[in-house]
Amino acid sequence: MAEITTNIDLIAEALRQGKLAAIPTETVYGLAGNALDVNAVAAIFEAKQRPSFDPLIMHLASAEAVSDYVTDFPAPLRALADAIWPGPLTLLLPRRALVPDLVTSGLERVAVRVPGHPLALGLLQSLDFPLAAPSANPFGYISPTLAEHVQAQLGDRIPLILDGGACSVGIESTIVGMEEGMGDSEPCVYRLGGLSVSEIENIIGPVTVKAHSSSQPAAPGSLEQHYAPGTAFLLDDTGTLAERLQQQGKYIAALRFQAALPAIDATAQRVLSLKGDLREAAARLFAAMRELDALGADTIVAEPLPEEGLGLAINDRLRRAAAQRTDC
Ligand code: TXA
Ligand code: MG
């Protein structure tokens, strides 16, 4: 099992020695290693059992530090960074040669982000290298939002977990880059996440959203089947689904937005936000999915949330959880 600690110095020393550590961010826990040390980066892929074509986000202490690793910082993206970092935003920027190919999977752009969690920021400030960190889950599973989630799934493969409590945002960062258009380029959202499209548009004006392109995705987190729990997972009207499945004698668990379903035992349900707050729902989403997954039910039924603000990113994760798994 991994050692769970709140000691940043211990974690920093391990990272300096090329070891891995799971670290909290405001979005989800990441599995971190020195981004400039290819052995550490390779160990991340190994621990996650992640296909090596999937590139990693480089975490930095500040927007200023980014210029060491990129050749250009287009004005709209810089404006977003200034407004949001530290926060749930990842930017795709043209890389410098010192960024290892293993981090970008050989792509021309590197993903960079300044995380908002105080422990992650404190750690990055104490290091003289950036941290490559994918979400700290085995490939294809739900991202962890508690140190215990990491321990349960990767504890036998990594030495250390920095415990920063529950992640306040709860879903992964929003990924934005410049997309070449007809003669010029414009900002484009590649992954819906903890920063909503409307918040982005309030800062830099209209953006395109390409979060669902699946062939050769710019952000492979957009692949289907990516956030799947182990239990069968259905996304639709939960009342109708529950009635039908209960008639078949199935043991049903339910994931609901604001209120539990009367027809199902309360212990087999998770309500994401009694007051209908999408931020609160996002922060609880992955922990609720894990708890329902652990019940050993035949099927989890989930209802879609309102298609607005963070509801778009939450529904995106729910759709992926419900997508038929074909690769595992
Ligand atoms: O909130 C987050 O972003 C968390 C925390 C730990 O920072 N990290 C995270 O990493 O979600 P990961 O590896 O699970 O998802 C990162 C996504 C992947 O879909 C990856 O393909 C995409 O970002 N990505 C990374 N580098 C890229 C690049 N150079 N070009 C395009 N997509 C990239
Ligand atoms: Mg991930």
10-residue stretch averages of pLDDT, the chain, 328 residues long: 98 98 98 97 90 87 97 98 98 97 93 98 98 93 96 96 98 96 87 97 96 51 62 95 95 97 96 97 96 96 97 94 61
Query: Could you tell me the distance, in angstroms and rounded to a whole number, from the CA of residue 141 to the centre of ligand 1?
Result: 14
Instruction: Tell how strand 57-59 and strand 109-113 pair up.
Output: parallel
Nearest to 151 by CA among 62, 21, 249, 57: 21
Nearest to 233 by CA among 320, 299, 327: 299
**What atom in ligand 1 is closest to the CA of residue 88?**
1
Contact 91/219 with Cβ under 8 angstroms? no
What torsion do the CA atoms of 136, 140, 142, 144 make, to the nearest 10 degrees?
-10
What residues contact 183, with CB distance under 8 A and at least 6 apart?
Answer: none
Number of neighbours of residue 208 by Cβ within 10 angstroms: 13
| 86 preceded by a cis bond (ω within 30 of 0) | yes
From the CB of 87, is ligand 1 less than 6 Å away? no
Percent of the chain with pLDDT over 70: 93
Q: What is the pLDDT of residues 61-100, one digit of tens each?
A: 999 999 999 999 999 999 999 999 999 999 999 999 999 9
Largest CA distance in the chain: 61
Tell me the C-alpha to C-alpha distance, in Å, between residue 32 and each of 15, 133, 220: 8, 4, 19
pLDDT number for residue 131: 98
Query: Could you tell me the distance, in angstroms and rounded to a whole number, from the CA of residue 203 to the centre of ligand 2?
Result: 26
From the CB of 235, is ligand 1 less than 6 Å away? no
How far apart are the C-alpha atoms of 256 and 263, rounded to whole Å?
13
Query: Could you tell me the distance, in angstroms and rounded to a whole number, from the CA of residue 240 to the centre of ligand 2?
Result: 32
Q: What angle do CA 220, 114, 167 make, to 5 degrees?
A: 80
pLDDT number for residue 326: 40
pLDDT number for residue 227: 66
Number of neighbours of residue 54 by Cβ within 10 angstroms: 16
Q: What is the pLDDT of residues 197-251, one digit of tens each?
A: 999 999 999 999 998 644 344 555 555 555 678 899 999 999 999 999 999 999 9
DSSP 224: T
From the CB of 56, is ligand 1 less than 6 Å away? yes
Tell me the C-alpha to C-alpha distance, in Å, between residue 116 and each of 9, 120, 143: 19, 7, 17
Nearest to 74 by CA among 181, 169, 172: 181
**What atom in ligand 1 is closest to the CA of residue 59?**
7
From the CB of 110, is ligand 1 less than 6 Å away? yes
**What atom in ligand 1 is closest to the CA of residue 223?**
19
Tell me the C-alpha to C-alpha distance, in Å, between residue 33 and each of 58, 204, 278: 10, 33, 32
pLDDT number for residue 216: 41
Residue from 172, 188, 223 to probe ligand 1 pocket by mutation (most atoms less than 8 Å from CB): 172
Residue from 101, 113, 175 to probe ligand 1 pocket by mutation (most atoms less than 8 Å from CB): 175
Nearest to 192 by CA among 6, 320, 25: 320
pLDDT number for residue 214: 41
- Assign 225 to helix, strand or coil: coil
pLDDT number for residue 225: 53
Q: Which two tokens stand for residue 84?
A: 């949001």
Query: Could you tell me the distance, in angstroms and rounded to a whole number, from the CA of residue 263 to the centre of ligand 2?
Result: 34
Q: What angle do CA 77, 79, 84 make, to 5 degrees?
A: 95
Instruction: Quickly tell me which residue has 């994918």 as its tokens.
Output: 134
**What atom in ligand 1 is closest to the CA of residue 194?**
1
Residue type, 126: S
